[in-house]
Each structure stands twice: as C-alpha cells, then as structure tokens.
Chain A
Amino acid sequence: MIRFLIRRILLGIFVMWMVTVMVFGIFFVGPGPGDVARRIAGKDATPQTVQLIMERLHLNQSLFVQYWDFVKQLVWHHNLGYSYYHQEPVSTVLKAAFPITFSLAIGSAVIWLVLGVFSGVVSAVRRGSIWDRLATILALFFYSMPTFVLGLLLLYAFSYQFALHGIHLFPGQGYVYFTASPVKWFESLVLPWITLALISAATYTRLTRGSLLEVLGEDYIRTARSKGLTERRVIYRHGLRSALTPVVSQFGIDVGTLLGGAIITEQVFGMPGLGYTAVNSIEQQDLPVIIGIVIIATAAVVVANIVVDLLYAVLDPRVRLH
C-alpha cells in the first residue's frame, strides 16, 4: 500500500512538472521574450516596466535558465511569483480566489451526489415506472444543457424576474465571503450551486442507473434474493456497494477538476474564483498566475485520483493495488 502511494505521488509530481513545462512552453515559446515581458507586464505597462521585467525574469537568457529560475523559486523559496496585473504576489491572488471555488465546488458536489445517486437508484429499482421515465428524461435534458445556458436562464428566472416582483432573494452576480455574511454568502451561492448540481447530477443519474442495473443482473444478487433477503437489503447492502464504485471514481475526478476552477459557472455568475481568475489571467497573459492556477488544478486532480484509487481498494476487496 505504501509502495502504491509513493509511486502515485511520484507520478503525480511528474505530471505537475510536465504541466508546468507545457504551460511555460505555450506562453514562452509561442510569442518570444520581448513579447512575453510585455505581456507579463500587462497591456498598459510602460517601456520601463517592460525592461525591468525582462531583467528580473532573465527573459533575455535562454529558455532553460528561465525555467530553472522558476523552478528554483517555486521549490526552494515557495514563491509563486508576482503578478504585475494584480500588483500582488501570486499567492495572495490565489488565496483570495480559492475559497470561492472551494465553496462552489464542494457545495454543488454534495448536492449533485445526493441528487444523482438517489434518482439513479430509484430509476434502477423502479425500472420502467413513471419515476424512471421521468428521471431518465430529465437526466437527458440536463445532460445536454450547456452550463452557461442553464446559468443564464436561472439568473433570468430567479434573479431578475423575482427582483421585478419584489423578491430580492438571489443576487445577480458576485460573491460574498462567508466571513463577511453567512446568509449573503449562501444566497450568492444558491443559483450557481443549482446550475452546477443539476447538470452534473444528470451524469450521475445515468451512471448510477446503468451501473446498478448491471449489478442487479448478476448471479450473486439472484443468490441473495433466493436466500430470502428482503429486496431492500439485497439492493442496498449487496447491490449498491459494487454499483457505486464507478460513481465514486467519477465523483473523485469531477470534484478534483472542479477544485481547479469551475470556469464557465464562475464566469456566468461573476464569481472571482480560480476559474474566473484564470480566464482573466490568460487574456492578460499574466503568466505567473496562470502557472499557479494550473499547478493547483493539476494537483487537485492528481490527489483526487489517488484518493479514489485508495477508496476503491477499501470498497472492493478484489482490487489489489499494484
């Protein structure tokens, strides 16, 4: 088990390293050093700032030196760099953005997991019934809906229309920190949560339903039934355990991905989380921030994958970690 963990962590570090190399490559090799400096400085920088940056970041030196510099800074000094666009250290920028993404991700994850699995189970267990058909159709509907379409529609219906009729429940856009006002924090998150949750739940409904149906068709379920166990026990005790493994796997990946920034949702609801910041930074060619976010996003997925694999080993004793 330890060997497994070590191997996966090493692999994860390798992936993160490759990712930084790739991002570096994209932004440095693409344009060219003078251009890069200009971009890092931001679109409105003065020539002096550009020159300063060129020297500071050793942009007139070879690519390897620059990259090595960056790595040195990152690993030894724990310094992610400085964002000229935000006029702040990158770490500050990220620290401000992360809680937003985190709240958004975890909140909607809980909702969609409960919603998706529940409806998937009901669908599978009552196959062919009206509930099943309803759930399947709704799942298909939301699965096909692009995030920003749903987000905007919800904003229109619940934020704008409600406001028109005097109900000021959901703010149009923006985010309020939990520490400032829990109630407002919650309000600002409801619509984004619903948006993300509905769309993601659709995948989970389909996944759970399909997986559970497959498991329920297996011989050992038939044995459990013929042993005289109540149907409820058969399903929940025996069937669900193996049916849920792909769901867990998918969940881990989805949450990991989301923690790196729910780009579209944050954009629609104007929430300055990691995703929103990332898009801005890319537009501004603010490389330090971009690299910082990419590292976090990749790390989140890597960790999520490791956790999922560990969970697999717990849930399914047949799985051996090698």
Chain B
Amino acid sequence: MSLTGTSIGASFEDDPEFAAAEGEETAKIEGRSTWQLAWARLKRDRAAVISFVIIVLIVLMAIFAPLVATITGHGVNQQFRTTGLNTFGLPVAPGKTFWLGTDDLGRDILVRVAYGARISLEVGVLATLITVAIGAALGLAAGYLGGLVDTVIARLVDLILSLPYLLFAISLVSISKPGMKIVIIVIALFGWAAVARIVRGQVLSIREKEYIEAARSLGASSWRIMLVDILPNVTAQLIVYATLLIPVSIVAEASLSFLGLGIPPPTADWGQMLAEAETIYQQAWWFLVFPGLALLITTLAFNILGDGVRDALDPRFDRL
C-alpha cells in the first residue's frame, strides 16, 4: 500500500491568474486564496467533475440502500431459496425479480452491492482521515521540532515502511475480533508512516524560509508556528494525498475481506462477495461482475478526482 509521492511546488505567487485580482475595484477588496483558485480550476476539469458526480451517486446509493431494499422488496441478508435459486440450487441470472441476479445463497445482489457501498465508503474515508491526521501531526512535529522527537519518529517511520504490510495486517486482524474497527486501525497503523515521511520532508524545507524566522523573532511558540505558519503550506499536498488515499484504503479493505479477514459475513461487503463468488462465478458471472464493477468504478472515480485535485492545486502546464 504505497503511493509514489506527489510533489507540489509552493510557487503559488507566480500564478498568472493573480493579475486578475488586481483589477477588482470593489468596496470589499479580498484576495482569492489558493483554495478559491483551485476550486475554479477543478470545476473546469471535465473528467474530475464527472468522477465527482459518480462519487456522489455512489454515496447516495449507500445512504439510500435501505430504500433500494424496500423498492425491490428484498432484504440485504434475506435468502430467497425458492425464487432466488434455480432448480439446481444455483444463483438466478439478472432479470425482472432480481435486477442484478442473486448470489450463492439466493440473496439479491443489487441490494447487497448497495449496502456494500456503505462499508467501502465508511472504511475508505475514515481510515484515510485517521491516517492523514496522525501522519501530518507526527510529520509536522518531526520536521519542525527536530532533535530527539525527529529521530524517534523518523526511525519509527523507516521501520514501518520496511515491514511487509499485508502479512502484518493479516496477522493483526487474525488475533482480533473481526470487524470494521480493526480493519480501519490496521490501515491507519501502516498508512500514517508514508504521510509522515512526506510531510516531514516538506516541513524541513519550509522551516528554513524567512517567514518562519520572522515568526520566531516575533516570539511565536513552536506550536503556533507549526499550526499557523507551516500547516497551511502543507495542507494542499495533504488534501491531494488524502483524495488518492481513499481508493487505496477501499481496495485494502476489500482485499482483507476477500481473504476472509475483513468484515465478517453476513454483512454485505464487496470484497467478501467476490470471495464468495470465487467458487461459483463460472455458473454465475453476475456474481463476479457486479461487485467487481462496483469496486472498480468507485476506485476509478476517486483516482480521477484525485488526479484532478492534484492538477487543480498545483497546475504544472506540462501535464496532460
């Protein structure tokens, strides 16, 4: 679980779009911040906008999953052994009753996919938030405070980054009570190190800037400097990283569930559905295709959005 680090230069002052701000003659004169400019750029990126819409749709599907169950009349864990399985006891193909077909236990795949979105999104977003929060905090501390704090954190980061992640993740899950909590913990436990390393690197270079020296000469405490002066210069990169970390977390959770070590049955989870499909997909391609497609589309949408966010926050005109 690693991302090739994205690099963002801080030369925001060179942005030609700033000339536009000068021409404004309004009573309330306010500059456009990085965020406002980035947002404008993002809106123009068609692929990113489409991905965003798709993500919104997926979120809606997750929120209204019970509604889907009500509409189809099939509960998420309800097994329809008569209508959902054919005479050979095999799943039923997509049709009028079961729009996306059934699984090996006669459950409605459409409803399960909808509920599965909940797990993926919850784990994806929560794990990412926790990972980035911990990684940023420790990276900031290590980079700015230096000394013993830096040595300890940096060594810890090196150690974690050299561990075989999946093996350890599986080991930890195996000795704990299976469920969403341990999966999130495991993802965050190994993920924060990469964030911390990137943040630390950035902080090390920001630390030498004159405006940091100015802050110290004003008497600002280390905490204040880290929070008010350094963090805003790191946030952009953090947001890009977080957006690209969400799909990684989603796939991580799905992989764990696929191995049978994630969310336990009978909860509807895409990874787990694919594990169940492994034995029966030859007779029931829909059992493989639809959860797989759901995973793929979700991951793809977040990746495209993430690329768009990165381009919006750090426009380098040599990127496609």
Contact = CB atoms under 8 A, between A and B. Distances in A.
Quick check: do A and B touch in the complex, using CB within 8 A?
yes
A217 B9 CA distance: 15
B190 interface: no
A213 interface: yes
B243 interface: no
Interface residues of A, number: 58
Interface in A224-271: 246, 250, 253, 257, 260-261, 263-264, 267-268
Given A152-B288, A213-B318, A144 B299 contact: yes
Given A27-B171, A152-B288, A246-B4, A146 B255 contact: yes
B259 A264 contact: yes
Contact of A260 (B164, B247, B259): B164
Interface in B249-304: 251, 254-255, 258-260, 271, 274, 277-278, 281-282, 285, 288-289, 292, 295-296, 299-300, 303-304
Given A31-B175, A148-B274, A15 B259 contact: no
B259 A298 contact: no
A14 B318 CA distance: 43
B247 A144 contact: yes
B222 to A, nearest CB: 29
Contact of B288 (A132, A146, A156): A156
Contacts of B172: 26
Given A264-B255, A282-B174, A297 B4 contact: no
Nearest to B302: A144
Nearest to B303: A144
B83 to A, nearest CB: 25
A140 B300 contact: yes
Contacts of A167: none
A293 B282 CA distance: 33
B162 interface: yes
A294 B167 contact: yes
A268 B320 contact: no
Contact of A22 (B168, B258, B274): B168
Contacts of A278: 167, 170
Q: Interface majority SS on B: helix, strand, loop or mixed?
A: helix
A152 B274 contact: yes
B58 to A, nearest CB: 14
Interface in A274-291: 278-279, 282-283, 285, 290
A22 B168 CA distance: 9
A268 B170 CA distance: 16
B159 interface: yes
B214 interface: no
A118 to B, nearest CB: 18
Given A156-B288, A260-B164, A146 B304 contact: no
Contacts of A261: 164, 167
Contacts of B260: 283
Nearest to B175: A30
A27 B167 CA distance: 13
Nearest to A133: B320
A268 B259 CA distance: 9
A37 interface: no
Contacts of B258: 148, 264, 267
A143 B303 contact: yes
B171 A263 contact: no
A111 B41 CA distance: 38
A302 B170 contact: no
A144 B255 CA distance: 13
Contact of B175 (A26, A127, A149, A293): A26
A147 B274 CA distance: 12
Contacts of A217: 318
A278 B174 CA distance: 12
A141 interface: yes
A257 B168 CA distance: 13
Contact of A156 (B159, B163, B164, B285): B285
Contact of A144 (B164, B171, B174, B296): B296
Contacts of A268: 278
Contacts of B168: 22-23, 26, 294
Interface in A138-180: 140-141, 143-149, 152-153, 155-156, 160
11 contacts: A127-B320, A133-B320, A141-B300, A144-B296, A146-B299, A147-B255, A148-B274, A263-B167, A263-B259, A298-B162, A298-B164
Interface of A: 15, 18-19, 22-23, 26-27, 30-31, 127-128, 132-133, 136, 140-141, 143-149, 152-153, 155-156, 160, 203, 206-207, 210, 213-214, 217, 246, 250, 253, 257, 260-261, 263-264, 267-268, 278-279, 282-283, 285, 290, 293-294, 297-298, 301-302, 305
Given A31-B175, A136-B320, 20 more contacts: A15-B162, A22-B168, A23-B168, A26-B168, A30-B176, A128-B320, A132-B320, A144-B303, A148-B258, A148-B274, A149-B295, A152-B277, A156-B285, A250-B4, A261-B167, A263-B170, A264-B166, A282-B170, A282-B171, A297-B164
Across the A-B interface, give the 10 residue pairs with the lowest CB-CB distance, nearest first.
Answer: A297-B164, A30-B175, A144-B299, A144-B300, A149-B292, A146-B251, A144-B303, A282-B174, A160-B282, A260-B164
